[in-house]
Amino acid sequence: MATPISLPPLPWAENALDPVISANTISFHYGKHHKTYVENLNKLIAGTEYADLPLEKIVSATAGKSDKSAIFNNAAQTWNHTFYWNSLRPNGGGEPPAALKQKIEAAFGSVDACKKELSATSVSQFGSGWGWLVADGSTLKIVKTANAETPFTQGLKPLLTLDVWEHAYYLDYQNKRAAHLDAVLDKLINWEFAAQNLG
């Protein structure tokens, strides 16, 4: 019997990111958007060869296959959102742990320069998508992906992500995408999570 993919609990309370991201935004973003991706994915994989696979394997197995795009989109969005929630934390921001900070400084010159590039790259994503801090071998890079695309299908290791789909910020910031991202980077970004992923 295949175990359905489940919606993981949020790593913090729905109102924990106030005032940068409101409980209202989280209730729609997590409780409606993320939940719908999980529900759609389970419907799409029922009775297929993907039904018993872990989420990451479903994403990898369907990436780049046009006849499997519906499965990929819902699986990758389920994965991306779970990763995104963990990329945020109440009272985040500040200084990254030492090992990560060293890598950031080697790649970007400073933590501030890294944040500026992450914000600028994310803002420049046309339409929906994601901004990512990734490890490419031993080097850190910033990349953006469109729609549901995710860096791990391109051989990169995600460390943290910023969601630039409108549903991530529109209730709180309307069209001010850059203001939203700067506030997230200053007050919510979870450098500890990124450091764990660097592993």
Q: Would you say residue 164 has pLDDT above 60?
A: yes
CB count in 10 Å sphere of residue 106: 11
What does the mean pLDDT of the chain come to?
Answer: 95
Helix (H) or strand (E) holding 180: helix 177-187
pLDDT of residue 24: 94
Q: Would you say residue 31 has pLDDT above 90?
A: yes
C-alpha to C-alpha distance for 25 and 42, rounded to whole angstroms? 24
pLDDT of residue 141: 98
C-alpha to C-alpha distance for 40 and 97, rounded to whole angstroms? 38
- Reference 33, options 156, 163, 133; nearest CA is 163
C-alpha to C-alpha distance for 90 and 21, rounded to whole angstroms? 10
| 80 or 175, higher pLDDT | 80
pLDDT of residue 184: 96
Q: Rounded mean pLDDT of 145-165?
A: 97
Q: Rounded mean pLDDT of 37-44?
A: 97
pLDDT of residue 172: 83
Domains and CATH numbers, the chain: 23-86 (1.10.287.990), 98-198 (3.55.40.20)
- Percentage of residues of the chain with pLDDT beyond 90: 90
